Amino acid sequence: MELKATALGKRLAQHPYDRIALLNAGVKVSGDRHEYLIPFNQLLTIECKRGLVWGELEFVLSDSKVVRLHGTEWAETQRFYQHLNERWQNWSREMSEVAAGVLSAQLDAISGRVNSAAWLTRAQLSGLKQQLLSAFDALPVPQRRLETFDNCRELWRQCQAWLHDTEGRREAHNQAWTEDMLVQYAPFFKEIESSPLNPAQARAVVNGEHSLLVLAGAGSGKTSVLVARAGWLLARGEASADQILLLAFGRKAAQEMDERIRERLHTEDVTARTFHALALSIIQQGGKKAPTISELESDTKARQTLLLDNWRQQCAEKKSQANGWRQWLNDELAWDVPEGEFWHDKAVQRRIAPRLERWISLVRMHGGSQAELIEGAEEEIRPLFSKRIKLLAPLLKAWKAALKAENAVDFSGLIHQAVAVLDKGRFVNPWKHILVDEFQDISPQRAALLAALRRQNSQTTLFAVGDDWQAIYRFSGAQLSLTTAFQDYFGEGDQCALDTTYRFNSRIGEVANAFIQKNPHQLAKPLNSLMVGDKNAVTLLAEEQLDALLDKLSGYATPEDRILVLARYHQGKPVSLEKAATRWPKLQLDFMTIHASKGQQAEYVIVLGLHEGLDGFPAPARESLIEQALLPVPENFPDAEERRLLYVAITRARKKVWLLFDKQNPSRFVDELKILNVPVARKP
C-alpha cells in the first residue's frame, strides 16, 4: 500500500519526501532524491494531521527525530493512516509480549540473587546494571513506549528502580532483613553478653557483607561484638566452629578472647589465634616440617646483644664502616658521638642497641632482597638509603646466621613463609569467616596474609573490628590506610560504627572526640556516652600540682578506684611515685606509658609531660631514613599519631582526667585543648 502527494501539493510543499509505502514491519518515506526507512521498532508515535488544504503524516522516532510527509489528499491520508496504525498497533501488541517476557526474566534473575531470608551483599548485585542495560538494548520496542503497554508498565518500572537505585534497593532489603533478625533473635542479643547488645552492636553482628569494617570507639564493646559475631554464625548455622578464624595481635589478647568465648558461648571449639600462630599452623599443614620460632623473638636482651656485638665488630674491623656509622649518627640522628673508637662508648651502645633491633626488624618485615629494598625507596632518598642499607647488611647477615644456627625462623620470616605456602596451593583455606580484633594495628605483611587466605577461598568473609582514632603503632609497621581506606585493600564491602561508649562520661567524650577529629584523615563516627560529666571532667593542671592532686584524690578516691598515671616515655615517671606507698597508701596508683595503657581503663587518669622539647608531648619526629623508607607513609597532618596517643590517654578514664603541663614551656596541644573549653585549674 502506498500514499503519494498530489502534483500541486508536491510543488507547494517543497519537501524532500512526497510518498510513503507500507512495508512488512515499517514504512518507507521517499522522494525524487531521498529515501528514509522507518522500522516499527524505532517508531514512537504516528500523527495524522490536516492542514489548510492537504493532509500530513508525522512520524516521531526513538532518537527524537521527526519525519513528515506533506501534500497528500486528505481522505486518502486518513485511509492510509488507519491501515498503517492498525498494522503498527498489532505489531506493537505482539512485541509487547516479547518485551514483557524479557523484563519478567530480568526480575526473576534479580529475585534469584535477592534471597528474602538473607543479607544481600554488594557482590551479589555486581554486574546488575550492565545486565539490565544489555537486556533493555535487546527489547523489540523503543524503551520510551514501555509505559504505554499494560503488560510492560509495572515490570519496566521495577527494572528501572533496580537500574537507577541499586544501592538504595539493596539497603532497603538489608534494613528490612536486619529488623526481622533483631526481632527474631532478640533473646540471643539479650543474653549473649552479660549486658544486652545495643542496636548498633546487634546490627554490626548481623551485617552479612563480604568485607565489613566495624569502627569500635574506646569503650564501645568491641569484644562483645566479636564474641557475639562468632555466636551468631554458630546459632544461624552459617558456619561450624572450625570454619571461624578469630585473630588477635598478641598472645595475651588471644587468651582473653578465648576465655570470653568459653564463658559466653560455652565452647572450646572456637579459639582465637595470633597472626604468628596462624602462620605457623599454615606452614605445618602445608606439608613442611613445622618451623621453630627463634628464641631471639622472646629475648630482647639476646637480640640486642647479638646485633650490638656484630656492630662493634663491624666498626672495629672496617674503617669505612666506622666512618659510615659516625656520619649516620652525627648527621641524621644528631648524636654527639665521641672521638676515636666510639663503638666502645657505653652511652652510645645503650642508645644504638634498640635502634639496631628496630632497623633490622623493619628490614625483615619488609622482606625482599637488598636490591629490591633500595629500588623501592623514593628516588630523592635512594642514594643515602642505599648507604644505610649497606651498613646494616652485615648485621642482617649475622641475624640470618643466628636463625640458621638455631634452625629457626623469626616472626617476619614466619608470615612470609605462610603467604608463600598459600600462594603455591600447598594449603587450602578452610575458613568461611575471618574475624580480626584491633584491626587498626594491622601491617601490610599481616594484610598480605589475609589477602592470601581470601585468594584461596573467594567466599571467605572478613569481619574487621578496630578504631582508626586509636591507631598508635605505626612505629612497629601498622598502616593506618588499611583501615581508613578499607575497601581499597579488601574489596567492596560495608562500614558501620558502634555508637555508644560504656566507659567515659559525656564531657570526656566531647573533648576527646573533638580533639581527635581535628585531623580530617580520621574517619568520622558518632560515639555517645551514657553518663553525663561536668565541665571539669577534663582539666588542665600545672605539673607542679601533682602531689597536691594525689593528696586530694586520697581524700575521696576509694581503694577500688584505679588511678592511671600516664607518660609519653618510661623516663617520664614522676619522682612523686617513689613515696606513694607511704604518703598515699590507700590509692591504687599504676604508672605506665600511654602505649602500654592501650586496652586499660581506670576511674581517674593523670597524663604527664605536656611540654615541648625532645622528650615532650607531642614527641618531635625522630625517624631515620630507614623508618622513612620502610614504614607506612603517615597521613599529611601535623602530629597525627601523637594526637591519637593523647586521645587514647584521655579515653582510659571513666570519671575524670587531669592533663599536667609545663607552664613555662607548654605543649602545643594545651592551646588546642583550651580552645575546646578545657578549663585550666590553679589547683586540684
Looking at the domain assignment, is residue 416 inside a domain?
no
Residue 552 confidence class, pLDDT cut points 50, 70, 90: very high
368/389 Cα distance (integer angstroms) = 13
| Domain shared by 523 and 660, yes or no | yes
What number is the average pLDDT over the span 138-162?
Answer: 96
Task: Say which CATH number the domain at 511 has.
Answer: 3.40.50.300
Kindly state whether residues 401 and 543 are assigned to the same domain.
no
For residue 675, tell me if it sits in a domain.
yes
Q: Hey, what's the cell of 275?
A: 597472626
Interacting residues of 231 by C-beta distance below 8 A, sequence separation 6+: 188, 192, 264, 265
Would 582 be classed as within a structural domain? yes
Instruction: Please indicate, yes or no, whether residues 522 and 491 belong to a single structural domain of this protein.
Output: no
The pLDDT, as a whole number, for residue 18 is 85
The pLDDT value recorded for residue 17 is: 83
Interstrand relation of 680-681 and 562-567 (parallel, antiparallel or unpaired): unpaired
One-letter amino acid at 315 equals: C
Q: What is the identity of the amino acid at 83? A: H
Q: Give me the pLDDT at residue 288, please.
A: 67
The DSSP 8-state label assigned to residue 110 in this structure reads H
- Domain annotation covers residue 23: yes
Sequence letter at residue 408: A
pTM here is 0.87
Same domain membership, residue 612 and residue 523: yes
**41 within 8 A of 142, measured Cβ to Cβ:** yes
What are 362's strand-pairing partners? none
CA distance linking residue 362 with residue 512, whole number of Å: 32
Same domain, 629 and 511: yes
Statement to judge: residues 4 and 141 lie in one domain: yes
Examine the pLDDT at 126 and tell me if it is beyond 70.
yes
Q: Is 139 exposed, middle or buried (0-12, 13-18, 19+ CB in 10 A)?
A: buried
Contact 98, 151 (CB under 8 A): no
Higher pLDDT, 518 or 33: 518
Does residue 377 sit within a domain? yes
C-alpha 534/C-alpha 505 separation (Å) is: 9
Average pLDDT, the chain: 94
Final residue in a domain of this structure, among 137, 164, 184: 184
Q: Is-contact 536 576, C-beta < 8 A?
A: no
**Residue 401 confidence class, pLDDT cut points 50, 70, 90:** very high
Lowest mean pLDDT among 252-261, 280-289, 355-364: 280-289
What integer pLDDT is reported at residue 53 of this predicted model? 72
- Beta-carbon contacts of 412 under 8 Å, excluding residues fewer than 6 positions away, are 361, 364, 365, 367, 445
Query: What is the model's pLDDT at position 486?
Result: 96
Last residue of a domain, one of 501, 526, 542: 501
Domain assignment of residue 593, yes or no: yes
Q: How many domains does the chain have?
A: 4
pLDDT reading at 312 higher than 90? yes
pLDDT in tens, 629-683: 999 989 999 999 999 999 999 999 999 999 999 999 999 999 999 999 999 999 9
User: How far lies 589's CA from each of 539, 542, 579, 585, 677, in Å?
Assistant: 19, 20, 12, 9, 28
Q: Are residue 603 and residue 658 in the same domain, yes or no?
A: yes
Task: Assess whether pLDDT exceeds 90 at residue 6.
Answer: no
Closest CA to 632 of 416, 465, 473: 473
Q: Would residue 660 count as lying in a domain? A: yes
Residue 363 and residue 433 share a domain: no
Measured between alpha carbons, how far is 684 from 379 in angstroms, rounded to an integer?
A: 54
Q: What is the mean pLDDT of residues 144-164?
A: 96
The residue ranges of DSSP E strands in 443-515, in sequence order, are: 461-466, 494-498, 500-501
Q: Would 414 be classed as within a structural domain?
A: no
pLDDT above 90 (res 52): no
The residue out of 184, 205, 222 marking a domain boundary is 184
Same domain, yes or no, for 473 and 531? no
* Across 84-90, average pLDDT: 96
Q: Does one domain contain both 39 and 127?
A: yes
The whole-number pLDDT of residue 13 equals: 63
Domain of residue 668: give its range. Answer: 506-681
Residues 323 and 281 in one domain: no
Q: Which of 159, 140, 151, 203 minimizes the C-alpha distance to 177?
A: 203
The reply to whether 267 and 337 lie within a common domain is no
